[in-house]
Amino acid sequence: MIEDKNPSRTSISDLGEFGLIDHLTKNFKIKHSSTVKSIGDDAAVISFENECVITTDLMVEGVHFDLSYMPLKHLGYKAVMVNLSDVYAMNATPKQITVSIAVSNRFPLEALEDLYEGIETAAKIYNIDVIGGDTTSSNKGLFISITALGHALKEDIVYRDGAQDNDLIVLSGDIGAAYLGLQVLEREKQVFKVNPQSQPDLSHYSYIIERQLKPEARKDIPELLKQLEVKPTSMIDISDGLSSEILHLCKHSKVGAVIYEEKIPLDPTVISTCEEFNMDSTTIALNGGEDYELLFTIKQEDYSKIKANPNINVIGHITQEKEVVHLITRGNTKVEITAQGWNSLHKNKEN
């Protein structure tokens, strides 16, 4: 937790709002010709040659993250990933972001430097321009809101409403790890409360903890599909859990779906950690959330183009039965799937 015991703390009030913005953004470099004007004026100026997609995500301390185990550098990085993932889910390329934060007086300048270092790292790795934002005070905790802008040709954009009967359902990567990483961190937090001297060995959980604290947006998937000459018929990112996302696709496309339990990709650490926590791995995969993988549908004739790729897995197919999704279990039982993923407005879902 951030405490007021460090004599080297620098109060953010010493800099003032504009001085704080200048200090935190001084290292951001412009990479795209579409960014005409970035930080430093009343508004940024962007030149749109193609279609522009825009997405915004707000993260609130105590709801979306817990600073007792979330390093601020990781938080800054993750906040960018959350937004970039939505842009990639539109089959677009993110180019610019704005960053707005509200902080209480318990956060010194050094803490915000860590937060912005994570944002800067994400911007460098994903080739993003940080073009503006805002800072203000908060009566309680930390709030961070990022808006991402992406560019794409009109004919390349993919929506949620294009899935058709007999399309194949495809998933990138593996799922369930981020939720289990959160469970491990929460467990160790409780252990620490009882015994502050404890030094847990989390090396066995490194993969799932990283998936929770420092996820990566799947920029490689739109690039891969373009190389393979495959355009998805619909696409969405997995932020709220596989069950919620497939139901979103089906609702918007007015179709149904069948998912095969044995086809859902799980990392070995997910399986072993589920056994340790006495949890069902399929339930975690369906409802965990925060994986930021891409779920999409393709035409059956495109299967031969993607079947040998280890980065993506066909997990089911689209049906005509509107908005009804079934799971075919390993025992060949047909079970209807309902949305039980992350809901930030549900009081029981808070960290």
CA distances from 14 to 60, 133, 314 (A): 25, 20, 55
How far apart CA 210 and CA 140 sit, in angstroms, is 27
- Residues whose CB falls within 8 Å of the CB of residue 345, separated by 6 or more in sequence, listed in order: none
Q: Say what the pLDDT of residue 1 is.
A: 38
Question: What's the CATH class of domain 168-342?
Answer: alpha beta
The domains of the chain are located at 12-156, 168-342
* 168-172, strands of its sheet edge to edge: 234-237, 294-298, 168-172, 312-319, 256-260, 325-328, 334-336
In degrees and rounded to multiples of 5, residue 140 shows phi and psi of -155, 115
More confident residue, 234 or 132: 234
Q: Say what the pLDDT of residue 61 is.
A: 95
Q: Say what the pLDDT of residue 39 is.
A: 79
Would you say residue 339 has pLDDT above 90?
no
Would you say residue 347 has pLDDT above 50?
no
Q: Say what the pLDDT of residue 348 is.
A: 42
pLDDT tens-digit map of 223-235: 999 999 999 999 9
CA distances from 87 to 41, 159, 191, 200, 281 (A): 26, 11, 38, 37, 29
CATH number of this structure's domain 12-156:
3.30.1330.10
CA 198 from chain centre, in angstroms, equals 31
Dihedral of the alpha carbons of 104, 188, 289, 285, in degrees to the nearest 10: 180
Would you say residue 14 has pLDDT above 80?
no
Would you say residue 153 has pLDDT above 70?
yes
Average pLDDT, integer, range 19-41: 78
With beta carbons less than 8 A apart as the criterion, state whether 241 and 289 touch. Answer: yes
pLDDT tens-digit map of 253-295: 999 999 999 999 999 999 999 999 999 999 999 999 999 999 9
| Closest C-alpha among 274, 241, 252, 246 to residue 346 | 241
At 35, is the pLDDT very low, low, confident or very high (cuts 50, 70, 90)? Answer: confident
DSSP state of 106: T
Ramachandran quadrant class, 133 (left: phi over 0; alpha: psi -120 to 50; beta: rest): left
Q: What is the mean pLDDT of the chain?
A: 90
At 8, is the pLDDT very low, low, confident or very high (cuts 50, 70, 90)? Answer: low
With beta carbons less than 8 A apart as the criterion, state whether 266 and 173 touch. Answer: no
Q: Provide the whole-model pTM.
A: 0.90
User: Regarding beta strands 129-137 and 93-103, do their DSSP bridges make them parallel or antiparallel, or are they unpaired?
Assistant: parallel
pLDDT tens-digit map of 171-205: 999 999 999 999 999 999 999 888 888 887 899 99
Q: Say what the pLDDT of residue 340 is.
A: 67
Tally of CA atoms within 13 A in the half-sphere of 277 that contains its CB: 21
3-state helix, strand, coil in the chain (%, to 5): 35, 25, 40
pLDDT tens-digit map of 57-85: 999 999 999 999 999 999 999 999 999 99
CA 254 from chain centre, in angstroms, equals 26
With beta carbons less than 8 A apart as the criterion, state whether 25 and 39 touch. Answer: yes
Q: Where are the beta strands (DSSP E) in 67-196?
A: 93-103, 129-137, 142-152, 168-172
Evaluate whether 12-156 and 168-342 have a shared fold: no
User: Regarding beta strands 256-260 and 129-137, do their DSSP bridges make them parallel or antiparallel, or are they unpaired?
Assistant: unpaired
Q: Say what the pLDDT of residue 18 is.
A: 60
Ramachandran quadrant class, 94 (left: phi over 0; alpha: psi -120 to 50; beta: rest): beta
Q: Say what the pLDDT of residue 27 is.
A: 74
Would you say residue 20 has pLDDT above 80?
no
Tokens standing for 76?
């800054």
Q: To 5 degrees, how large is the angle CA 151–CA 152–CA 158?
A: 120
Q: Say what the pLDDT of residue 145 is.
A: 97
Q: Say what the pLDDT of residue 13 is.
A: 65
With beta carbons less than 8 A apart as the criterion, state whether 181 and 210 touch. Answer: yes
